[in-house]
Structure 1
Amino acid sequence: MEHIQCDKKKVCIFGSGNFGSCLADHLADAVHDVLLWSRDTEVIEALNSTHMHPYCHKDHVFPEGIRAVGPEMLSTEALREMDVLLFAVPTEGLRETLTKLKPTIDQILKFDEDGEVKSPVFIFVNKGIESKSNALTLEIVAEAVGKEVARAAAFLSGPSFATEIIRRQPTNVSVSSLSQSHAQQAADLFHQPWFRCYTGTDPIGVELAGALKNVYAIAAGCAEGLGYENNTRAGLVTRALAEMSRIGTAYGANPLTFLTLAGVGDLFLTCSSKTSRNFTVGYRLGKGEKLDDILRTLGSVAEGVATAKGAKMMIDKLGINAPIAQGVYGVLYEGVEAEAQARWLMERPAVAEIDLSCDVGIAAKELLAKLGL
């Protein structure tokens, strides 16, 4: 496919794992200049000398437009030249990374006449809920580097396996921000014939969908590991979408967001493919393996494991009925056998199929108040 001509940007990506490296490949192929920050010296040396990654996408040759840097943080002078800062570190490590960068970010921010961040463009691609604080990424950003950055931050999410992006399989994603301008800038950066972006202004809903679908992917994996087939998966995914919508509506997200690429699109993908790390965790739990053994041998981060803790806290705080998410928490952290949890879910009393909370928006109002909105 021919490239779409675009303005060449200087992009710094923090995180050289599966997704961070695939986005670096995509952006460099689209002729942007890419710095890929890693804390792993082996990754840095391999990418710079052979243009190959020692752990991820091992058979792929990365474009020469990528320069790997680290493990020390970049200097103020280096980051001042960047048009885009993209964060592809797991949610559990994001606050630490941003806190280290705050002195530099304070020095490089440029503001428009209304006092809103003009540059650089901040993009976040992690999907999770911080387990200790129950915070979404939007809140982590506000607390770590300031509400001005949070208001401008863009969030990319949707059905987008890294291995398929690397192979230039047609991929569609959501890009959302409280600032329509920054959402559009982020979308324009990524947009290519094999990577189509749709913009929105509900980052809270996009974040919740991206985080929660990982929890439900564990449930889908458990079901397959237990030997359940298509009827079970279809019912589970449909009821997972109902729970996500209920949680999101109570939180204050737009319920329609859960019908987008970031919602049902990502949920369907993650719950139906053995390529998903979260699905794999669930599958192995369904086969009777212990969580510690699974995580030790998985080889990469499955964000749904940590997110299940944050989701449980959120569900309890909002007073939401979300039995599948609660069931996943029980299997992961309370020693409940997957088969027993599946039986409990099926034996619950019959209830109304559509049940959105009427007491909506309290959590979102509190979060937006932190952002000065």
Structure 2
Amino acid sequence: MHTQKIAILGPGSWGTALAQVLNDNGHEVRIWGNLPEQIQEINQHHTNQHYFKDLILDEKITAYLDLKEALDQVDAVLFVVPTKVTRLVAKQVAQVLDHKVTLMHASKGLEPDTHKRISEILEEEIPEKLRSEIVVVSGPSHAEEAIVRDITLITAASKDLHSAKYAQEIFSNHYFRLYTNTDIIGVETAGALKNIIAVGTGVLHGLGYGDNAKAAIITRGLAEITRLGVKLGANPLTYSGLSGVGDLIVTGTSVHSRNWRAGDALGRGEKLSDIEANMGMVIEGISTTKAAYELAKELDVYMPITQAIYQVIYENQAIKEAIRDMMNNEFKAENEWS
């Protein structure tokens, strides 16, 4: 493939890691952000200290404050901004983009209030004449590991297989590999909802529970994620793939995961407001818990773990009490999907 010009919107940890992958593959990478000091730092010092203390970026990676400039003549645009600002940034892109691009995103969450997936937001805000079918880049991936070129396997999902293959081609190399998938609903819901379960596994760790409990919440968490996804139109098999169980394992068992760290701190008795202030990064699992809880109620889907985490975060229920309630839930058959 010829060298592609790619604009990455969002210079956070994952946006920066993906910029490096694309740069390693010989593409022209532009990062857009709205903090002047961060953009200046990337351009002058080739660092992004807030996320990666000791890392030097290739000087060919250029950062932009001006969105129109960043999007000038690009082949592809990759959204990696927090879920709650996706719509706002998409509106800005629609105003300044003047040609058709391959549109991708690598964020994980559901929009507060509307409960929409990120591809749905992008479809609504960016006219069809300016974009391909949207490609979701998602899977088990810590930015901290991808940035040091650790082996990472993830999924590129799109309703249009040709667009998914484009993402597969531009990203894949000797340490970073993408598999294509056409189940965009499954991949997006898996990526969003696993953050809730990761908060739960962190809580159990913070409380001092062992591996049995961790395996239980990950497995039963996957069952309720699948239940909701299937109700929304996903293929259940997607949840046993990289973007499903793969992402759940990596997020639900690692200190690199800010959702796991937030849960761990909750389990140790810290206040949520303090945890969010100390993290300095968005904890997507917190807002996704609310969206998923509301969606499950609306669609009448049984999600006991999500409900318990919601009650702890939003209704101040004592964690031990929430766990006791869950253990006393009605008895179920293991493979019940209703």
TM-score bin (small chain): over 0.9
Aligned to 1:101: 93
Could you tell me which residue of structure 2 aligns to residue 15 of structure 1?
Answer: 10
- Cα shift at 1:148: 6.2
Partner of 1:174, secondary structure, is strand
Deviation at 1:7, TM superposition (A): 2.5
Q: What's the % identity of the aligned pairs?
A: 37
Aligned length: 338
Aligned to 1:28: 23
Q: Distance in 2 between matches of 1:234 and 1:206?
A: 22
Q: CA deviation at 1:147?
A: 5.2
Distance 2:184 2:77 in 1: 17
Which of 276, 280, 284 is equivalent to 2:261?
A: 280
Q: State the TM-score, normalized to the length of structure 1.
A: 0.88
- Aligned-partner Cα distance in 2 for 1:320–1:149: 36
| Distance in structure 1 (CA, Å) of the matches to 2:107 and 2:27 | 21
Instruction: Please give the per-residue CA displacement for 1:22-42, whole angstroms capped at 9, x wherever unaligned.
Output: 111111122111111011111
Mapped pair 1:74 → 2:68:
yes
CA RMSD of aligned residues (A): 1.3
8 A Cα contact 1:216 1:240, kept in partner: yes
Question: Are the equivalent residues in 2 in contact too, given 1:158–1:172 (CA < 8 A)?
Answer: yes
Is 1:47 matched up with 2:39? Answer: no
8 Å CA contact 2:150–2:175 kept in 1: the answer is yes
Residue of structure 2 in register with 1:115 after alignment: none
Does residue 91 (structure 1) correspond to residue 83 (structure 2)? The answer is: yes
Which residue, out of 338, 355, 359, partners 2:336?
Answer: 355
List per-residue Cα deviations over 1:136-169 (Å, max 9, x = no partner).
1121112211356686110011001001101111
Letter in 2 for 1:304: G
- What corresponds to 1:253 in structure 2? 234
1:337 aligns with 2:314: no
- Secondary structure of the residue aligned to 1:186 is helix
SS for the counterpart of 1:152 is: coil
Alpha-carbon distance between aligned partners in 1 of 2:234 and 2:186, rounded to the nearest angstrom: 5
CA distance in structure 1 between the partners assigned to 2:242 and 2:222 by the alignment: 13
Take 1:65 and 1:100, find their aligned partners in 2: how far apart are those partners?
26
Q: Which portions of structure 1, spanning 4 or more consecutive aligned residues, are displaced by more than 6 angstroms?
A: 148-151
Match of 1:183 in 2: 164
Distance 1:149 1:264, change over 3 A: farther
Matched, 1:146 2:143: no
Residues 319, 150 of structure 1: alpha-carbon distance in 2 compared, 3 angstrom cutoff:
farther
Residue 15 of structure 2 aligns with an amino acid whose one-letter code is G
TM-score where L is the length of structure 2: 0.97
Counterpart AA for 2:99: I
On the 8 A contact 1:138/1:150 being kept in 2, the answer is no
User: How far did residue 274 of structure 1 move?
Assistant: 1.3
* 1:117 corresponding residue in structure 2: none
Instruction: State the secondary structure of the residue aligned to 1:11.
Output: strand
Taking the aligned partners of 1:147 and 1:108, their CA distance within structure 2 comes to: 11
Distance 1:79 1:45 in 2: 18
How far apart, CA to CA, are the structure 1 residues paired with 2:129 and 2:224? 32
Distance 1:337 1:151 in 2: 47
2:243 & 2:114 partners in 1: Cα distance? 23
2:3–2:26 CA contact under 8 A, matched in 1 = yes
Equivalent residue number for residue 218 of structure 2: 237
Query: SS of the counterpart of 1:141?
Result: helix
Give, in whole Å, the separation in 2 of the partners of 1:324 and 1:151. 37
| Alignment gaps of 5+ in structure 2 | none
Query: In the alignment, is the contact (CA less than 8 A) between 2:77 and 2:104 conserved in 1?
Result: yes
Question: Is the Cα contact below 8 Å between 2:5 and 2:74 reproduced in 1?
Answer: yes
| Conservation of the 8 A alpha-carbon contact between 1:309 and 1:329 | yes
CA distance in 2 between counterparts of 1:209 and 1:57 reads 27
